[in-house]
Amino acid sequence: MQRDLLVESQRFPIAGTFTISRGSKTEAEVICCTISEGRFAGRGECVPYQRYGEAMESVTAAIEAVRGDIANGMDRAGLLQAMQAGAARNALDCALWDLEAKMSGKPAHAGVCAAPPRPIVTAYTLSLGTPEAMADQAALNAARPLLKVKIGGENDIERIRAVVAAAPRSKIILDANEGWTDENIEANLAAAAELGVALIEQPLPAGRDEILRRIDHAVPICADESVHEARDLEKLAGLYDAVNIKLDKAGGLTAAMLLRDRARELGLSIMVGCMVGTSLAMAPAVLLAQDADFADLDGPLLLAQDRAPGLVYRGSVVSPPEPTLWG
């Protein structure tokens, strides 16, 4: 039986404005793929990301280019060979996982997790702003156990101090989004260590991070923009202590699992992260994050409205997806 493929561009408003070192956005633009076979249908969502040369149009075109292969039954292994890592492959791969689960009656978590999935704590992201504005955000979310703080400009030490003072009981991850420089990284790292920061994501631009091999890692440093697939890991040896695995970067759950397993073999800590998307995008990542050191899967918490049904969040604790959503 042939399969049908539905590709939909969708927009979800963000609650307020989401700001990082590269700019601001007020809505999440996503692409949803639905692969149907008979009475069964599986869905996957991706978020095209301009930093990686992606746009809604180009990702849609990449998906459409394999429409015939999907119709003729291409599986996830074939997809890995046919498409490059990125958002397009992610949407299709996750839709195939969901379709397989629906058709077999066997939940997706059986192929992902070593044990039945459980609720996990996710970071909650604070947008980049003035130290005063970021302190206000931190104070509003001071009861959350894990905060991810967007930085990456002048006065970052002031921002860090303001956030830590406003949320003294929260564990802090800093995400510079490639915004630091060789000139300020050591001072920023020292301040972060003094203030008890748990992890720093991608302080320097990908490919311009060689100084990380020579300086003291007073706080563990996590690769984000520098790592997409498992094959990227060898060149990160001696530079990073952890990797941020995102399904949109890796090109789906299948590739993300390969990246996770290889990172563990190399002794790297694991963060499972996300773009700003809906619960459909987060659902497979919640399974991947079951044994991660950090989870940053707060995309739906940043939206003014999530898709329904969605994941269940209780504060910063997110439960595994129900089959009506995914898997």
**pLDDT-based confidence at 1, cuts 50/70/90?**
confident
What is the Cα–Cα distance from 295 to 120, expressed in whole angstroms?
A: 8
Q: What is the pLDDT of residues 166-197, one digit of tens each?
A: 999 999 999 999 999 999 999 999 999 999 99
Q: What is the pLDDT of residues 201-242, one digit of tens each?
A: 999 999 999 999 999 999 999 999 999 999 999 999 899 999
Q: What are phi and psi of 149, to 5 degrees?
A: -110, 120
pLDDT value for 300: 97
User: Looking at the predicted structure, is the pLDDT value of residue 274 above 80?
Assistant: yes
User: Looking at the predicted structure, is the pLDDT value of residue 22 above 70?
Assistant: no
What six digits make up the tokens of 76? Answer: 């996830």
Helix (H) or strand (E) holding 121: strand 120-121
Rounded to an integer, the average pLDDT of 297-324 is: 97
pTM over 0.85: yes
What average pLDDT is seen over the chain?
96
Amino acid at 204: L
**CATH among 3.30.390.10, 2.60.40.10, 1.10.510.10, 3.40.1170.10 for 4-106:** 3.30.390.10
Amino acid at 16: G
**pLDDT-based confidence at 21, cuts 50/70/90?**
low
Which CA distances in Å does 164 have to 137, 160, 174, 247, 251? 11, 6, 11, 30, 35
- Where do we find the tokens 């950090």? 294
pLDDT value for 24: 77
- How far does the chain reach from its first CA to its final CA, in angstroms? 21
pLDDT value for 141: 97
Paired strand residues for 146: 171
Helix (H) or strand (E) holding 149: strand 146-150
pLDDT value for 20: 79
DSSP letters along 152-181, please? -STTHHHHHHHHHHHSTTSEEEEE-TT---
**pLDDT-based confidence at 149, cuts 50/70/90?**
very high
Could you state, in order of their start, the residue ranges of all structural domains in the chain? 4-106, 111-318
DSSP-derived secondary structure letter, 320: P
Q: Exposure of 91 by Cβ count < 10 A (0-12 exposed, 13-18 middle, 19+ buried)?
A: buried
Q: Which three-class secondary structure state does DSSP give residue 63?
A: helix
What CATH class does 111-318 carry?
alpha beta
Rounded to an integer, the average pLDDT of 43-63 is: 96
What is the Cα–Cα distance from 326 to 231, expressed in whole angstroms?
A: 28
Amino acid at 82: A
DSSP letters along 217-261, please? -SS-EEESTT--SGGGSGGGTTT-SEEEE-HHHHTSHHHHHHHHH
What is the Cα–Cα distance from 20 to 185, expressed in whole angstroms?
A: 18
Domains 4-106 and 111-318 share a fold: no
